[in-house]
Structure 1
Amino acid sequence: MDTIASLFSFITWPVSWVIVQFHKVYGAIFGPDTGWAWGLSIVSLVVLIRICLIPLFVKQIKSTRNMQALQPKMKAIQERYKSDKQRQSEEMMKLYKETGTNPLSSCLPILAQSPFFFALYHVLSAIASGKEIGVIDGPLLASARQAHIFGAPLASKFTDTAAEVAALDASITSVRIVTAVMIVMMSASQFFTQRQLMMKNVDLSVKTPYMQQQKMLMYIFPLIFAGMGINFPVGVLIYWLTTNVWTMGQQMYVINQNPTPGSKAQDAYLQRLLKSITHSGEVKGRRRKNVVKVIVAKGGDRNENERRFFVGLSKAGFAAQPDGTVIKSDTIVAEAEGGAAARRQQPKRQTKSQRQASAAQQPLVKDSEEGSEPAAAEATTSLEKKPQGSAVTEAKGETQGDKPQRGSRANSGGSRQGKSGQGQRKGQQRPKHPSSKK
C-alpha cells in the first residue's frame, strides 16, 4: 500500500494544504489538537472532492442505465457471433458508439477520487512516522499526532503492534475496537449502497447477466473493503466511510427524483406524483411536468408502472396532455367505468376443442333448418292429394295434431337426424302412406 501511495506523492501537497485550511476553521471551534478538528477536516476534504465529482456521478448514472437497457442487444450479439470474438467486439463497439454509451463511465467517480485517497493515505502514514509532508510541518505534525478519535490516533491501524500504538499515546485495545467498528460501518455502507441500487433502481422486467454480475459485486465489494480496511489508518477509514455515506445519500436522492424506468423506485415516484395531482389538481414543478411529458410521448411503449399511472389519472378524472399538464373532465371517469364494464361483460375464452365442436355444429344446424321447409311442402302436397273418402285417416291425423308432445318429439327426432345425418340421402324423400301406424 505504501508503494502505491508513493506513486501519488505529487498530489500530497494540495491534499495536505486543503486539510490544513479546514483544520484552521475547526481548530478555532474545537481546539487545534483535538481529534474533532482533524477528523472534521478529513470529512470536509471528502465533501469537497465529491462535490467536484458530481458531473462524473451524473455520467455514471446515465452510463449504468444505458448499460442496463443495452443488455438484451448485447446478449443477442454474443449469441450471434459466438464463434467470432473479433466480430463480436466490433459489433459491441458499434453498439456503444450508436447509443453514446461508455462502459468505463460507471467507474469514473472511483477512478477520479483514487489519487486523493492514496495521497491522504500517504499523508497519514507520514504523520504516523513523524515525518513532515506537504504543508504539515513541525507544529502541525505534532498536533496531528496528538489528535485522537474515541481514543484512537488518526494515524493508527488495526494491524499496528502495541509498541507502535504506545508511541502515539494510545492503547492497542482502543485502537482495535475503533478500527473494527469503522471497518464494519464502511463495509455495511458499501453493501447497502449497492443493494439500494439493485433492489429499487433496476428495471425488473429485463433479466440479464448484467444484473447477476451486479448482485455478485454487491456481496464481493464489502468483503474486499473489509480485508483492505485492516491496513487503513483511522483517518483513511474516516475518509472512506464518509465517501460511502455521501454516495448512499446522493444515490438515494437520484433514485427518488429520477428513477430508472420499470423499477420499483419509478412505481413509488409515479404513485407520489399521482397523489399530488389528485390533491392539487395540477402538476407542480418543471421536473414533474417533464416526467409526464416524456411518458405521454412514449405512447404504446409505456411500461407497467406508467400504464398504472395513467389508469389512476383516468379514475381520478384527469387526462395528461403532451405539454406535461393535466386537464380535469367528468367524461373521463364515465369512459373509464364504461370500458371496465365492457371488459367484464366479455365472454369467456373457449378452448380449441370447444371452438372446433361449435364450428362443426353450425353447418349441420343450418342444413337441418333448410331441409325442414321442403319437408313441410311435401307434407302439404301429400295431404292435398288424399282421396276424399279417407275421413277416418284425417280424423286420426287431427287427433294426433292435438297432442303437442308427440309433435315435439317428432321434431326433436328430426333435429337429431339433421345433426347426425351427414351420411343420409339429400333431396326429396318419398312420403309415407297416411295409413301407416308409424
Structure 2
Amino acid sequence: MTPLYYIISAVLVGWHWVFEKIGLDPDGGTSWALSIVGLTLIIRAALIPLFVKQIKSSRNMQLIQPKVKELQKKYGHDRERLAQETMKLYKDTGTNPFASCLPILVQMPIFFALFRLLDQAAKKNTPHGFLTDDLAKSFGQSEILGRVPLSESFWQARVWGDSPDLTVMVLALVLVLAMTATTFTTQRQLMAKNMPADALSGPYAQQQKLLLYVLPVAFGLGGVAFPIGVLLYWTTSNLWTMGQQFYVIRNNPAPGTPAFAAKEEREKAKTLRKGGSVQVTPEPEPEVEHRPAKRQQPQRQTREQRRKAAGAKPEVSGGSPNKRPKGGKK
C-alpha cells in the first residue's frame, strides 16, 4: 500500500494547498472534503482509458450473444467443447468478459488506501506518504457542517451525552443511500438503453440482472462501516460514472438498441431544423396470405336446361322431318 499512500496523499495535499490559497480554512472539513472530491476527479480522469475498454468489451458481449446462443444449442450436451468454442469466439471478436470489472477492481486498492490514510490520521495522527504530522492531524480531526468529522462512520458516530450524534448518522446514511442509488441507476441505465433485444436473455443478461440488484445491496450494507470521507469519494465516483456513461450511450450507442434509435431520431430532427430533407425508408407492406379461390359448385339443372345450354333442339313428338321413316323410300 505504500506506493498508493504516496500517490493519494500527493493529490490530497495538492488540492488542499489550492483550497488554502483561495481562502478556505486549512484545518476545516470543507477544504479536506473538497480535496477528496478533487482526488476522485483525478483518479477517474486517469481511468478513462479503462472505461473506454470496458464500454467496448460490454458492447461486444452484447453483440455476440446470438452467436453464443447458437453455440449453446450446438454444444449444450458437451460442456467442455462449449467452453472451448465460447473462449474461441471471445478471442476472435476481441472480447474480454472480465473487462467490465476493471474500473472497479482498479479503484478498490485506492479506496482502501484512502480509508487507511483517514483512519490512521484520525485515531493515531499517523502520517502516511506526503502527509506531515500537522497535515495528518488536521486531516483526521477535520469536520464538515460544524460537527461532522470526516473520519466518523454510521456505526461509530461520536456520542454526545447518552446518545450517538444523529447529525453524523443522518449524513452518513444519506451518503450510503446516494452511493447505492447511483450504483443501481448506472447499471440500470446500461441495461435499459444500451443493450439490444437479443442480449436481454441468456446467461450474460442473467449475470447483469444479478449484479443490478446484488452490488447496490452489498455496497449499502458495507457502506455503514466506512468513514464519511470514504463515502464522499465513492459517491462522487459513482456520479462521475453515471455522467460519463450517459455521454457515451447518448453519442456512441450500440447498434440495435433503444439509445441507437433515439440518436437517429435526434439526427433526423436536427437535419429538418436546418432545412434539409430526410430520406424516409418506406415501411414494408404487410404480407397478405393468398388462399386458393373457393371452387363454386355448379347448380343442378334439368335435362331440358342442359340441352338448351349445349345448343341442342328439343325433341318433337311427331318425329323429325329429316329422319327417314322406317322402311320408306327416299
TM-score, scaled to structure 1: 0.64
Which amino acid is the alignment partner of residue 60 of structure 2?
Answer: N
1:197 aligned partner: 190
Q: Does 1:146 align with 2:129?
A: no
Which amino acid is the alignment partner of residue 314 of structure 1?
Answer: V
1:160 aligned partner: 156
Of 129, 136, 149, 1:134 maps to 129
1:387 aligned partner: 321
Contact 2:194-2:258 at 8 Å conserved across structures: yes
Q: Deviations over 1:232-284 (max 9, x none)?
A: 1111101100000000000111111111222221222111111111221459x
Q: Offset at 1:381?
A: 11
Decide which structure has the larger Cα Rg and report it.
1
1:300 aligned partner: none
Where structure 1 has 5 or more consecutive residues not aligned to the other structure, the ranges are 1-7, 284-311, 316-335, 366-371, 389-438
- The higher-RCO structure (CA 8 Å, 6+ apart) is 2
Contact 2:157-2:168 at 8 Å conserved across structures: no
Task: Count residues in correspondence.
Answer: 309
1:240 aligned partner: 234
SS of match in other structure, 1:103 = coil
Q: Offset at 1:218?
A: 1.3
SS of match in other structure, 1:65 = helix
Q: Offset at 1:55?
A: 1.2
Contact 2:184-2:213 at 8 Å conserved across structures: yes
1:349 aligned partner: 289
Contact 1:205-1:262 at 8 Å conserved across structures: no
Contact 1:36-1:149 at 8 Å conserved across structures: yes
**1:143 and 1:279, CA in 2 relative to 1: closer, same or farther beyond 3 A?**
same
User: Separation in 2 of the partners of 1:386 and 1:32?
Assistant: 137
Q: Does 1:212 align with 2:199?
A: no
User: Separation in 2 of the partners of 1:45 and 1:143?
Assistant: 17
Of 213, 217, 223, 2:217 maps to 223
Contact 2:4-2:110 at 8 Å conserved across structures: yes
1:85 aligned partner: 79
Which amino acid is the alignment partner of residue 92 of structure 2?
Answer: E
User: Separation in 2 of the partners of 1:162 and 1:381?
Assistant: 124
Of 108, 111, 117, 1:117 maps to 111
Q: Offset at 1:128?
A: 1.6
Which amino acid is the alignment partner of residue 196 of structure 1?
Answer: Q
1:94 aligned partner: 88
**1:106 and 1:374, CA in 2 relative to 1: closer, same or farther beyond 3 A?**
farther
Q: Offset at 1:97?
A: 1.0
SS of match in other structure, 1:254 = helix
Q: Offset at 1:85?
A: 2.5
SS of match in other structure, 1:235 = helix
TM-score, scaled to structure 2: 0.83
User: Separation in 1 of the partners of 2:243 and 2:26?
Assistant: 30
1:314 aligned partner: 280
User: Separation in 2 of the partners of 1:133 and 1:216?
Assistant: 38
2:8 aligned partner: 15
Q: Offset at 1:313?
A: 2.7
Q: Does 1:103 align with 2:97?
A: yes
Q: Offset at 1:138?
A: 1.6
Where structure 2 has 5 or more consecutive residues not aligned to the other structure, the ranges are 299-304, 323-330
SS of match in other structure, 1:124 = helix
User: Separation in 1 of the partners of 2:289 and 2:74?
Assistant: 39
Q: Does 1:174 align with 2:167?
A: yes
Contact 2:196-2:255 at 8 Å conserved across structures: yes
